[in-house]
Amino acid sequence: MKIALFDTKPYDKEVFEKHNSYKNEMSFTFYETKLNEDTVSLSNGFDCVVVFVNDTLNSNVINQLYKYGVKLIALRCSGFNNVDVKEAFGKIHVVNVPNYSPYAVAEHTMALLLTSIRHIHKAYNRTRDYNFSLNGLKGFDLHGKTVGIIGTGRIGKVFANICNGFGMHVLAYDLCPDTSINVEYVSLENLFKHSDIISLHCPLTPENYHFINSKSIAKMKDGVILINTSRGSLVDTEDLLEEIKNKKVGATCLDVYEEESDIFFEDKSNHILQDDTLARLLSMPNVLITSHQAFLTEEALNNIAKTTINNIKNFFEDGIIKNEICYHCGRSAQCKKKRRERCF
């Protein structure tokens, strides 16, 4: 089995080589470049491509992969909005890592929130300059505040439990409510209206693209804090900028950004940032941005590598592919996945 890994960093290479117990059967080639229409030729001669969140697998890339004989697309992440799964159906199988560490992302979400409201990043920079003044660093208690969580899957559920531990009132919205967690499910309108803090933990779909925009923000409390550690395109960034300037949004914490693909994960410190929108966000004192870092823990990286390698091995051994995804996954009564078969 010849596998090409795209958009890889040193930590990816280290962890995949560490967990490859099938070296006689499975060989990895690591590419730093992202997979897209310009680089898809690099996949020629491989049985499988392993991709990440900012690789672009549109219909053209899918068809070129199929032409090259690639049989499997293995996502080393849970989200698959960057893959045209409808085009892939019947041609190339797609698998993902649905559960690598919900704690990693949920804990980073809380870290962003605490850093923002207690101005820890500013205090850190001050003290390094021997400035021990507390002026301008006043925060507020989380205890007793209302947090609205949109999406209560694995990550949203863990974040809800963390918020409960802080003594917060937790509102939640999800199309499939989970009654096992201590939250109050409400409509999206009521969540917007009553939440002091709103945190996004839902996948990106055509239906919720840019659903955080000027119209939805207008329904929120004045000074609301918005957190997004899910997918950048859930938020209309231009609208968000305007609402920050208008002081409707009190603070924003972002680990994702809708135009991140050519910026995040890269060192741009010696370059002029060409993205004016991101530059404006970074210039604002009440905006805290990390570059898609939430997943990056030792436990998560180990789980990603082990699950991806097992996904590949199971596929090529004609085993059951429990993590296979397709465009109509689980929606049909005749779904082969429900019968523990391949999707096609």
Q: Please, are residues 174 and 185 in contact by the beta-carbon 8 Å criterion?
A: yes
Strands 184-185, 2-5: parallel, antiparallel or unpaired by DSSP?
Answer: unpaired
Residue 260 designated active-site: yes
Catalytic residue, chosen from 87, 243, 258, 260, is 260
248 and 226 in contact (C-beta within 8 Å)? no
The active-site residue, picked from 231, 243, 258, 324, is 231
Long-range pairs for 24-30: beta carbons < 8 A, 24 or more residues apart: 25/1, 25/313, 26/1, 26/309, 26/312, 26/313, 27/1, 27/2, 27/3, 28/3, 28/4, 29/2, 29/3, 29/4, 29/5, 30/5
Question: Catalytic pick from 76, 108, 119, 292?
Answer: 292
Angle between helices 10-19 and 298-316 (to 10 degrees): 60
First to last CA, the chain: 21
How is 80-103 classified by DSSP, letter by letter?
Answer: -TTB-HHHHTTTSEEE--S-S-HH
Q: Does residue 331 carry a catalytic annotation?
A: no
Active site residue 231: yes
Active site residues: 231, 260, 292
